[in-house]
Amino acid sequence: MLRLPRERSSRTTSRKAFTVFDIAVFSTLFVTLFVIMDPPGITPIFLALTSGRPAKVQRRMAWQAAAVAFGVIAVFALFGRQILGRLHISTPALMIAGGLLLLLVALDLLTGKSEEPTQTKDVNVALVPLGMPLLAGPGAIVSVILAVQHAHGAAAQLSVWTAIAAIHVVLYLVMRFSLVIIRVIKDGGVVLVTRLAGMMLSALAVQQIINGVLQVVRSA
């Protein structure tokens, strides 16, 4: 008879601890960011943009790209609405600008300009376009702003930030271990992956521009 209150109190304590983390909020935002940021799809683009660099540099670029994307997403999660409102930037404008930047990178990949020595030595592609706008693009930024806005309470906020951190860990691991592919496909395969990545990225950029234009038309 004396054990029952203890068991009930322990169950109540465990339930309270469980409510500190909202699995529904975490899973919803994580899946949304996974679909938008597309870790599997980033592999050929990462290999194309970092080809010709030493393995040590490529590994560094993997975590730099993930860190830059996390930093951008975190800033917009905290101050996104204020930043866009202060600069009078609409979401469609952000989407169109990001699409144009991605299109320029895609054209370089398709024409082979990204293989020039000046590009390889002087440009840190982990910052642009990998970190932003490829990973931390308009879609991910808007999703995070909305998630933070609708997250009421400490449990929901913790779940949102955990989801943001988790997706960037996944992105880093995917880019980090995608370097193993280079050892298998060799130089000829890298060229093929570069052209394929350019085609995929150009289609993604055009689609992003179209989505932004459609939102402008609908709002008008």
Environment class of 23 (CB within 10 Å of its CB; exposed 0-12, middle 13-18, buried 19+) = exposed
Contacts of 198 (CB under 8 A, 6+ apart): 48, 106, 107, 108, 109, 110
pLDDT, tens digit, 9 for 90 and up, residues 40-71: 878 888 988 888 788 899 999 999 999 999 99
**Structural domain includes residue 2:** no
pTM exceeds cut of 0.95: no
**Structural domain includes residue 65:** yes
pLDDT, tens digit, 9 for 90 and up, residues 108-159: 778 766 544 334 445 688 898 889 888 998 888 988 988 998 888 899 999 9
**Structural domain includes residue 142:** yes
Domain that holds residue 172: 25-219
- Domain count of the chain? 1
